[in-house]
Amino acid sequence: MAIAGRSRKRGDVARRFGCNIETVRHYEKIGLLDAPDRTASGHRLYSADDEAQLAFILRGRQLGFSIDELRGLLSLGGSGSEACGEANALTQRHLADVRAKLRDLARLEKTLVAISAQCEHDGDGSGCPILEALQAGPEGQ
């Protein structure tokens, strides 16, 4: 059982970290966040370690790590060189994915700029280049 005064209920923890109670519940349900101690009446009490684990998860999600990637990072546990090497390898793979998404977004931006520039808004009834580009489908790019 957690020490009174050093533990918080789920709602307090969620407020402290600026997330929804359901978010905390979800991470527990899928086993990403360890189940906290409970009071005799069944209330969950989150220790400082539980809160640190939740902070790790939330920060990882902000950085775009998937649930499986976070599961892998959490399983590394320690801060030894082997754990650090594995964490770096996983982070490098994630970084490569982020860079690929950035390239895709740059291509998307270029396409949107091009079709938007074709639109003259003159209302001459000759059609809309944006709608025509969308109707052309993916092969019309």
- Please compute the mean of the pLDDT values over residues 110-127 and round it to a whole number: 77
Contacts of 37 (CB under 8 A, 6+ apart): 1, 2, 7, 44, 45, 47
Query: Are 16 and 8 in contact, with CB atoms under 8 Å apart?
Result: yes
pLDDT at 1: 43
pLDDT at 3: 46
Q: What is the DSSP letter of 46?
A: B
Dump pLDDT digits (tens) for 91-102.
Answer: 999 999 999 999
The CATH code belonging to domain 1-65 is 1.10.1660.10
3-state secondary structure of 8: strand
More confident residue, 133 or 104: 104
Query: Are 73 and 90 in contact, with CB atoms under 8 Å apart?
Result: yes
Q: Which of 17-21, 79-83, 85-89, 103-107 has the lowest mean pLDDT?
A: 79-83
What 15-22 contacts at long range (C-beta under 8 Å, 24+ apart), as own/partner pairs, is 16/51, 17/51, 17/54, 17/55, 17/58, 19/58
Q: What percent of the chain has pLDDT over 90?
A: 63
Q: What percent of the chain has pLDDT over 70?
A: 87
Q: Indicate the pLDDT class of residue 122, thresholds 50, 70 and 90.
A: low
Dump pLDDT digits (tens) for 18-61.
Answer: 999 999 999 999 999 999 999 899 889 999 999 999 999 999 99
Q: Above 60 in pLDDT, residue 119?
A: yes
More confident residue, 124 or 57: 57
